[in-house]
Amino acid sequence: MEQNHKLALAQGKDLTDGEKYRRLVGRLIYLAVTRPDLAYSVHILSQFMQAPKEEHWEAALRVVRYLKKCPGQGILLRSDSALQLQGWCDSDWASCPLTRRSLTGWFVLLGLSPVSWKTKKQHTVSRSSAEAEYRSIAALTCELKWLKQLLNDLGVEHKKGYTT
């Protein structure tokens, strides 16, 4: 999906067969479980399930074309990498043109393997980009703490801190 593309402001014609759009987005949601590169696009597309427009359908087809051009981008779990948690996060302040809520995204690696990622709207409207970033960092920190505890429960010692 193109950068700064605002599907929420689509004013085009309603899609004649909304069920077709919902089926396609449902399949993309299923694929996003193992394809972190789809998380943002699927997050955006899934907001228009009730009344999709033709522009939304075209955006969903762009994601399908991307998938066809980039096969094999799934998760590779490597046994030779250190079990160090590393996390990255970012926010997009007031990115939703309708609600002005910010967007949070994070990505966590265990060694060289992706284990957790998410893109979601923040629950409240942030008053500044710094506040949106702090909310994003807080969400990532909670995820890292949970993953560290999960590793401990599985008997994997994680003595080092995490990298963010």
Q: Which residues of the chain have pLDDT under 50?
A: none
| Structural domain containing residue 121 | 85-153
What pLDDT was estimated at residue 89? Answer: 94
What per-residue confidence (pLDDT) applies to 78?
77
Question: Residue 32 is encoded by which pair of tokens?
Answer: 């996003």
Extended strands (E) in 35-148: 85-92, 103-110, 113-121
- Consecutive H or E run containing 142: helix 129-153
Q: What is the pLDDT of residue 6?
A: 64
Question: What gap in Å lies between CA 114 and CA 106, rounded to an integer?
Answer: 11
pLDDT at 7 (0 to 100): 67
Q: Please report whether residue 92 resides in a domain.
A: yes
The pTM of the whole model exceeds 0.75: no
C-alpha pair distances (Å), 117 with each of 23, 34, 40, 120: 23, 10, 10, 10
**If you compute the radius of gyration of the chain from its CA atoms, what whole number of angstroms results?**
18
Residue at 136 is within a domain: yes
Each residue of 118-148: pLDDT tens digit? 888 888 998 999 999 999 999 999 999 999 9
Whether 140 maps to a domain, the answer reads yes
Question: What pLDDT, on a 0 to 100 scale, did the predictor assign at position 141?
Answer: 94
Which of 69, 95, 123 finishes a domain?
A: 69
Question: CA-to-CA distance for 39 and 86, rounded, in angstroms?
Answer: 18
**158 falls within a domain:** no
In a domain, 36, yes or no: yes
Q: Do 92 and 33 fall into the same domain?
A: no
CB-count exposure of residue 119 (10 Å: 0-12, 13-18, 19+): buried
Residue 75 has a pLDDT of 80
Distance (Å, whole) CA 141 – CA 16: 43
